[in-house]
Chain A
């Protein structure tokens, strides 16, 4: 463990959605941290809660969703209970956000220059003239050709890839310490995707910005992230260095997930598949949420919920890695 204070700390975060049929728990006991300059990838299938985690951090949970427990700390200061107005200055100044769809992030009625200038004058101690100069610099930095002319264009005048570059400039221009990027490349074509990932990586490194990169694409994570958290049914199943998680996963879900990614390098007669599908929030099973699909399930998994524990080179929430259940595992293994 390093002694430096993490930039972002999420402790036992719980997000609930009250509905007429009872309360749905969308995130349950999610804890992780991001060090300064670090890129943390968050992967999982749809509904696993990865976007929800990002939304909770930037204070943009869709009502009626609410943080029902736990804390979010930025530089040691709690930001999960800030009043709306204060949170607005944190968002933008200290945390930048990039979303999947650049069209919904950008205001279609304002030129991209105006949006950049407004962001900078709101959050930085500079005037509009200087902000405009910096806006052009930012557009150049994210690779928009003829930035000085394009600054007065409207979002619809840009192509998808260019628009996402504008969004990146917008997220970075107030020089935040942390970027929450939710599926930033999913809406883009592969060739453009590669350009955008390369850009995000370079900028984050140059500016020393930390990043939480939420995506379902393991390839993007492998290329970009330092560490990765794998989420399943609102919980973290496994977290660790990206190389370890990709190459030597510990949690049976991560193993299944990695196995079901079709390889580009060769053809398989049959692909590995995980049977069944992720449970709905209203029907998360007792014990380990993965137990009905897990090939290595044993009695304890159906009763008790596992916590994150050291598992090989990573940390996994799985009873297989608990000393107490080792005996049971051996028996289960012999059974299989």
Chain B
């Protein structure tokens, strides 16, 4: 359904020309996304996880065409994205759900106007009665009442607003949805409602999702495959179950290690040292090497490429240590084993 090939996006964060000349410095580029390739089959969910600043939201925006790529390409259903987007019939097939349901709904529009806008914009229905019926149907589909169309966004709670965003996204009958942290702004009990709703809709409508999140537990619930990003690159891309039972990249393992332990097994946690370096001047070689317990001279000098991991061939991992077998081979994650 969707494929990215060596996708990259840089942002120019240089100071104004005159200051730059006076200070004698060059251009400064923020490499938000630097060579990301993945594919999502129809009807499946790929999740991208990572910490803030790793480039996952930039990938989301590249994939729907809100940003143009600096390098590489996005292929949507066999077509180049730029080409696909110039055609309304193709554009309709992809939609996006944003993180903040307070900011993504126009506060001065009634809910029915918000939801019917894509229908009108793409000219899917022209008859007012038909549009009204469709809006009512969409509201019912996301668990609201057709009467809610009369209200304004401020009359709803955060979870209900996110339902409205989903109804709006669905109104153009899309096949592919990009969900950028759709539940991060919500409380846990509401998060469960929205995740269940998204799963139901996927099953009913055969939707394909690109799901962006920093919450590994949420990602485990919704994904078929998971890509782990670090400083603008994919460091691991594996089937969800494989990733959670046998994480391979040292960064993935560190992330799992850092999750607070609700089961209170009393395991001693070893927090990852250090912080994410600046994407303006990423470290040489493997971007994770300054924080990596397995780093050696090769990691400092040479950038690892994604390749199938020894032992778990379904996993693609960019790590010299895994490639050379210095990581001790696949190891079951203790937290995953405790599940039983």
Contact = CB atoms under 8 A, between A and B. Distances in A.
Contacts of A193: 258, 260
A105 to B, nearest CB: 19
B202 interface: no
A265 B335 contact: yes
Contacts of B228: none
Contacts of B271: 191, 194-195, 198
A37 interface: no
A195 B270 CA distance: 9
B189 A274 contact: yes
Contacts of B272: 191, 194-195
Contacts of B218: 262
Contacts of B158: 46, 277
Interface in A42-90: 45-46
A266 B216 CA distance: 11
A228 to B, nearest CB: 12
A324 interface: no
Given A257-B188, A265-B338, A270 B196 contact: yes
B1 interface: no
A157 B232 CA distance: 23
A115 to B, nearest CB: 22
B164 to A, nearest CB: 14
B275 A192 contact: yes
Given A219-B259, A271-B196, A189 B244 contact: no
A223 B189 contact: no
B203 to A, nearest CB: 11
B260 A159 contact: no
A242 B262 CA distance: 10
B262 A191 contact: no
A274 B187 CA distance: 11
Contacts of B241: 267
B230 to A, nearest CB: 11
A45 B189 contact: yes
B217 interface: yes
Given A194-B269, A267-B241, A257 B189 contact: yes
B144 interface: no
B199 interface: yes
A216 interface: yes
Nearest to A270: B196
B272 to A, nearest CB: 4
Given A256-B189, A270-B196, A277 B217 contact: no
Contacts of A271: 192, 195-196, 221
A66 B283 CA distance: 52
A195 B273 CA distance: 8
B200 to A, nearest CB: 9
A159 B275 contact: yes
Contacts of A274: 189, 192-193
A128 B220 CA distance: 52
Contacts of B339: 263, 265-266
Interface in A119-171: 159, 161-162
A264 B188 contact: no
B297 interface: no
A189 B196 contact: no
20 contacts: A190-B51, A190-B255, A194-B258, A197-B260, A216-B188, A219-B261, A219-B262, A246-B264, A256-B189, A262-B191, A264-B217, A264-B220, A264-B244, A265-B263, A265-B335, A265-B338, A267-B240, A277-B160, A277-B189, A277-B190
Give 7 nearest A-B pairs by CB, closest first: A219-B260, A265-B339, A45-B187, A260-B192, A189-B51, A273-B192, A194-B258
Interface of A: 45-46, 159, 161-162, 189-195, 197-198, 216-220, 222-223, 242-243, 246-247, 256-257, 259-268, 270-275, 277-278
Given A264-B256, A273-B196, 6 more contacts: A159-B275, A162-B275, A190-B216, A191-B254, A243-B264, A267-B220
